[in-house]
């Protein structure tokens, strides 16, 4: 396969816009600040990778991923009622609980996750841990700006390094 074509373990640079069902622009990357990722190693949605596979530098793309191909449907399983007192204490800002606020939390294994405050009662807080784009069809439009082989170091670390090497 030609080096300038998108394939697994290649670094891809894209400009794109992501639009939702209602026409809202949810995300974008420009030619000046492109999205850069290593193709096919799980940094992007599998269906996104699939749609880009084989495209070459200079190619434009336009496709829509269904909610199932994207972040899945929103599920009641990710709605969690928590005791209100866990949001209280001297280390917690007094105004942290606001409807619609996105709060950094941890699961039972200590993994970071964001939750959205959806309801507050006298004793409980209802949090939504669904992905913010769950239930949405994702429409992408963009252009392939560059493709190159990933370095061994990038593959070992699982991410793209900037010009001149390692940047975390």
Cα–Cα distance between 32 and 30 in angstroms, integer? 5
Report the SS3 class of residue 112.
strand
Q: What is the pLDDT along the chain (168 residues), one digit of tens a residue?
A: 567 899 999 999 999 999 998 999 999 999 999 999 999 998 999 999 999 999 999 999 999 999 999 999 999 999 999 999 888 877 777 788 899 999 998 888 888 889 999 999 999 999 999 999 999 999 999 999 999 999 999 999 888 987 644 444
Rounded to 5 degrees, what angle do the CA atoms 131, 11, 51 make?
55
Task: Enter the tokens of residue 34.
Answer: 């492109």
Q: What region, left, alpha or beta, does residue 67 occupy, with left being phi > 0 and alpha being psi -120 to 50 degrees?
A: alpha
Q: Which helix (H) or strand (E) holds 6?
A: none
Structural domain spans, the chain: 10-71+134-157, 76-128
Which CATH number fits the domain 10-71+134-157, given the four candidates 3.30.70.260, 3.10.50.40, 3.40.50.300, 3.10.620.30?
3.10.50.40
User: Taking the complete model, does pTM exceed 0.85, yes or no?
Assistant: no
What CATH architecture is 76-128? Beta Barrel (2.40)
């Amino acid at each position: 396969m030609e080096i300038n074509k998108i394939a697994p373990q290649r670094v891809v640079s894209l400009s794109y816009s992501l639009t939702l069902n209602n026409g809202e622009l949810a995300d974008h990357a420009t030619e000046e600040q492109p999205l850069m990722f290593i193709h096919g190693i799980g940094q992007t949605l599998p269906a996104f990778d699939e749609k880009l596979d084989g495209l070459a530098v200079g190619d434009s793309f336009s496709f829509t991923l269904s909610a199932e191909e994207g972040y899945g449907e929103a599920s009641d399983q990710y709605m969690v009622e928590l005791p209100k007192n866990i949001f209280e204490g001297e280390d917690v800002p007094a105004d942290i609980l606001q409807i619609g606020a996105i709060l950094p939390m941890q699961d039972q294994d200590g993994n970071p996750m964001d939750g959205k405050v959806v309801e507050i009662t006298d004793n409980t807080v209802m949090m939504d841990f669904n992905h913010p784009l769950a239930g949405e069809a994702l429409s992408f439009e963009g252009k392939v700006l560059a493709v190159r082989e990933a370095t061994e170091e990038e593959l070992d670390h699982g991410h793209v390094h900037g010009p001149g090497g390692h940047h975390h």
